[in-house]
């Protein structure tokens, strides 16, 4: 069985290394895998390591991803479709990245972190905890400062959905109170709101190995794409 598969239409530029052994001292050349989906763009110097024996046996990059120059995808990472890693992004082992997420240049993501669908990570962020779907994080350590309004609008979300999502995010991540109770309050208040329910499913996942990212504020608003008043990543 081939240890590396690259999908049709994927472009791999100079000095990229795909499917090389994991940087794991426990690895003894076991037959693990690396898969890159179709129609991806893998730029210069990107490294994507195949899986270790401590994960699911495969490192996977989904269809239509763009990995900019010098980005690193460590062993056992799973990237969904349409993920963008900007220059010099570093993903530790076993990181899960949801569809359409964007990770800014020079950001470092700790091993076993989950990044939800359409989340946005600012450049140079240090991510040590899970980021919920649509969340926008900034800083070192990364803090949740808003949500990816523009990304949601581009994918067909309505203004009403965004207003509801903002209310739910404020309840979950800003309002005082016990977190489990706030989860149930949000579930009861917005049972038919699919974006809210997606966030709730993510934070309820008891298999997670990291805590959720903490809320915060941008220390220098002029440096990032977020509306401080409304908490909207742009």
Just list the catalytic residues: 75-76, 93
Q: Do the bridges between strand 143-148 and strand 58-61 make them parallel or antiparallel, or are there none, so unpaired?
A: unpaired
Report the alpha-carbon distance of residue 28 to residue 179 in Å, rounded.
43
Burial class of residue 186 (count of CB atoms within 10 Å of its CB; 0-12, 13-18, 19+): buried
The DSSP element (H or E) to which 115 belongs, if any, is: strand 114-115
Within 8 A by CB and 6+ apart from 125, the residues are: 104, 107, 108, 137, 138, 139, 140, 142
């Amino acid at each position: 069985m081939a240890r590396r598969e690259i999908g049709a239409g994927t472009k791999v530029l100079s000095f990229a290394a795909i499917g090389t052994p994991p940087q794991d001292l426990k690895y003894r050349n076991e037959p693990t895998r690396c898969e890159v989906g179709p129609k991806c763009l893998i730029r210069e110097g990107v490294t994507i390591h195949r899986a270790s024996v401590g994960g699911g046996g495969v490192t996977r990059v989904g269809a239509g991803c763009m990995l900019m120059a010098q980005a690193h995808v460590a062993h056992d990472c799973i990237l969904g479709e349409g993920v963008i890693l900007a220059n010099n992004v570093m993903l530790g082992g076993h990181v899960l990245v949801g569809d359409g997420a964007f990770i800014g240049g020079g950001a470092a993501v700790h091993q076993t972190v989950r990044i939800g669908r359409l989340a946005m990570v600012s450049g140079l962020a240090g991510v040590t905890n899970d980021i919920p779907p649509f969340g926008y994080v900034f800083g070192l350590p990364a803090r949740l400062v808003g949500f990816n309004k523009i990304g949601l609008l581009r994918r067909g979300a309505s203004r009403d959905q965004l207003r509801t999502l903002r209310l739910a995010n404020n309840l979950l991540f800003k309002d005082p109170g016990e977190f489990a109770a706030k989860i149930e309050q949000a579930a009861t208040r917005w049972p038919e709101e699919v974006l809210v329910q997606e966030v709730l499913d993510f934070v309820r996942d008891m298999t997670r190995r990291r805590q959720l990212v903490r809320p915060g504020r941008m220390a220098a608003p002029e440096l990032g794409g977020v509306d401080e008043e409304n908490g909207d990543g742009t």
